[in-house]
Amino acid sequence: LTGTSREQRAFQYLLTHAIPGDPHHILQTFDQWCYHCEHLSCVGPDKGRIVERVLLERAPLRVLELGTYCGYGTVLLAQGMPPGARLYTIEGDARHAAVAKKVIRLAGFSEQTVELIVGPSEEVIPHLREKHGLMNVNLVFMDHWKRCYLRDLQLLESHQLLADGATILADNVLFPGAPHFLQYAKTCGKYHCKVHRARLEY
């Protein structure tokens, strides 16, 4: 009826209620919107705590996010990174990316800290080194189309973009599910796997 998308309406709510430059309050305000107004498939606070714990344990300096959506996960990752770290986030939908960019800037993160790249992940990943100067990554957060998880992991491998000891954190591998990705990760012999049990967002 309003002619605006759910993501745009959520951003308008952020503008009205969130404290600019306060990433934690931005996420809290997002959660309020998703609990009480309209559902968005963001990471959410429960799974967000798992992401925060991994960031604290690993302290990655170069982070890659696949699936920016409207920027919730991006803000979550950026606020948990150590000083001097850089986040590259890829979003295939230009409309979602436009909202995400405003959310990221509202949270106080500059282009020097967070670089938003618009385009299909399978086209962007092979050019991360030459176009964006990303030699390799310490942590990858996958939260895009589940059917793309395995393909994109293998793209990262083939282009030697995973640093030694890199962590791959993949959301919703059990439901809706990414069975081929999960089977590969468990059986290829390259990774130590751990499944974190969590509720669906909101």
pLDDT per residue over 158-174, tens digit each?
999 999 999 999 999 99
144 secondary structure, DSSP code:
S
What CATH architecture is 6-188?
3-Layer(aba) Sandwich (3.40)
Query: Which pLDDT band holds residue 103 (cuts at 50, 70, 90)?
Result: very high
Q: Which residues contact 154 (CB under 8 A, 6 or more apart)?
A: 184
Task: Examine the residue annotation and report whether 201 is marked as an active-site residue of this protein.
Answer: yes
Beta bridge partners, 87, equal 63, 114
Q: Is the pLDDT of residue 183 over 90?
A: yes
Asked if 146 is an active-site residue, the reply is yes
Report how far residue 69's alpha carbon sits from residue 78's, in angstroms, rounded to the nearest whole number. 15
pLDDT > 70 in the chain, percent: 99
Q: Is 143 designated active site?
A: yes
Considering the candidates 171, 186, 190, 194, report the single residue annotated as catalytic: 171
Q: Report the chain's C-alpha Rg in angstroms.
A: 16
Q: Does the structure show a pLDDT above 70 at 23?
A: yes
Among residues 143, 157, 164, 190, which one is catalytic? 143
Q: What is the mean pLDDT of residues 45-60?
A: 96
The catalytic position among 65, 146, 157, 186 is 146
Task: Identify the three-state secondary structure at position 88.
Answer: strand
Residues forming a β-bridge with 170: 142
Nearest to 68 by CA among 134, 9, 3, 120: 120
The percent of residues in the chain predicted with pLDDT above 90, rounded, is 94
* 118-135 mean pLDDT: 98
Tell me what the pLDDT averaged over the chain comes to. Answer: 96
Q: What angle do CA 183, 189, 194 make, to 5 degrees?
A: 60
> In the numeric block, which tokens belong to residue 74?
């991006």
Confidence bin at 200 (pLDDT 50/70/90): confident
Tell me the pTM.
Answer: 0.96
- Tokens 């670089």 correspond to 115
For residues 36-61, give the mean pLDDT: 96
- How confident is the model at residue 202, as a pLDDT? 86
What is the pLDDT, as a whole number, of residue 173? 93
Task: Give the pLDDT confidence score for residue 1 in this predicted structure.
Answer: 62
Please identify which of the residues 172, 186, 190, 194 carries the catalytic annotation: 172
- The sign one gets for the Cα dihedral 161, 164, 169, 170 is positive
Is the pLDDT score of 95 beyond 80?
A: yes
| N-to-C CA span, the chain | 24
